[in-house]
Amino acid sequence: MGTSHKERGEYWDSYYTAKAVPDIPSQFAAFVLSECRDADYFLDVGCGNGRDTFFFARHKMPVVSVDGSTAAISDIVERSSAQGLPIAALSAACDDPDLMDKVADAMSHIDVSGVGVIYARFFIHAITDDEQAGFLDFCGAFLKKNGGKLALEFRTAADEKLSKVTAEHYRRYVEPVDFLNELFQRGLTASYFTQGTGYAKYKDDDAFVVRMLVEQV
């Protein structure tokens, strides 16, 4: 599959329209909610079908959901409205230079205050190097302004040759050391870091992932 934004957007719109992804919360969502008990809200970037967005919201956490797939966001808006959950959803690119303003506007539509968590599961490996740079720029600026943490889980280079059960699509296998350096350049550091298999099992796919919680240096 190509790496262009349009090609990837069409793939994910089709994927979420087909409702092929599980709707139960991920293992990572349960971990983060337990570890970040002092959080007042979540910013779920690359939220997909909202499986973790709805998990957080049902635990009384306001959530701003962001995804490049308009199909996914439209579905989240419809379902969250019907269920009366504290969710604001917007379709935007992770490296959008106006993302800070767009997120602030979304936050104003729900009861968001205090300190939050930027949450991005299985997202980093699904974007390009340039998009990652833009996203980390946003995270650095957001945490500097608002405080809080960044929670990440993504496939690493050690996962590249392992079996996959989902259809072939764009994946970028990340070198953890390089990624940690990218964080440090933006005034961020991992306060929690682990890697391995057993964290993100799905059918026969036992991905080799990094999990980390990130804060300002």
- What is the pLDDT averaged over residues 159-168? 83
| Backbone phi, psi, residue 151, to 5° | -115, 125
As a CATH number, domain 5-216 is 3.40.50.150
Domain layout of the chain by residue ranges:
5-216
Q: What pLDDT, in 10s, does the model give residues 41-67? A: 999 999 999 999 999 999 999 999 999
- Sequence letter at residue 215: E
Single pTM value for the model: 0.90
Q: What is the CA radius of gyration of the chain?
A: 16
Cite the DSSP H helix spans in the chain: 5-17, 27-35, 51-58, 70-83, 99-107, 129-146, 176-184
Residues with Cβ within 8 Å of 50's Cβ and at least 6 positions away in sequence, in order, are 44, 65, 72, 75, 76, 79, 80, 87, 89
| Tens-place pLDDT, residues 87-123 | 999 999 999 999 999 999 999 999 888 999 999 999 9
